[in-house]
Copies of this chain bind each other. A is one copy, B any other.
Amino acid sequence: MPKIVDHHKQKEKLAEAAWRVILREGMERASVRNIAEEAGLSAGSLRHYFSTQSELLAFSMEMVSVRVKERIRGLPFTGEPIADAQLLLWELLPIDEERRAEMAVWLAFTAKALSDPLLQPLKDEIYAEMKLGMVSVIEELFNRYHSTASKEERALEAERLYALLDGLAIHSIMKPAEVDAGVMKSVIKQHINSICRNDPAAGG
């Protein structure tokens, strides 16, 4: 009896429209009407899928993280700590236009999450997941190249790596010409190299 429309597909379409608006005009222009128009729908239709603006934005933010996680799951990890670390870290940096856009949108969401209670849980969740990822990267590297390191030193190194990663990403968003893919990759290589300095074969 009903008109069949893939509910979830429509929500994804709206979330992607939200990304484009945020990317092009900033978060303050991400109104219900603007996003609906970007998606080619009326504001009334949008409201049929998301009853509030916050719901839409939360879904849109979550979709970014889901996409990134899917890509990470598909990475061809080898088991070699340094190669795997580079593979993961590069995936988390804005090294091409698609990832640049993604990261810019993510940044806008994160900034909004600082004052929007509805976005905070997801922000915290992602922070925790990222931190876990960094911890496991450091564990892999240290177990192979720096096994004498203490537990505290490893925790510190994980936070250092995570901060470096986010700092690089933000700088690349702010100054794409100065901090391009080459610079970011070099810095990451340098960092991994300096962590694994006990092994002369490390880095490259």
Contact of A167 among B114, B163, B197 (CB under 8 A): B163
Min Cβ gap A46→B in Å is 19
The interface-forming segment of A7-15, A82-90, A183-191 is: A183-191
Min Cβ gap A42→B in Å is 24
Interface residues contributed by chain A, number (CB under 8 Å):
43
The interface-forming segment of A59-67, A136-144, A171-179 is: A171-179
Interface of A is mostly: helix
List residues 30-49 of chain A with CB under 8 A from any CB of chain B: none
Q: Which residues of A contact B (CB under 8 A)?
A: 24-29, 104, 107-108, 110-112, 114-116, 123-124, 127, 153, 156-157, 159-160, 162-168, 170-171, 173-175, 179, 183, 186-187, 190-191, 194, 197
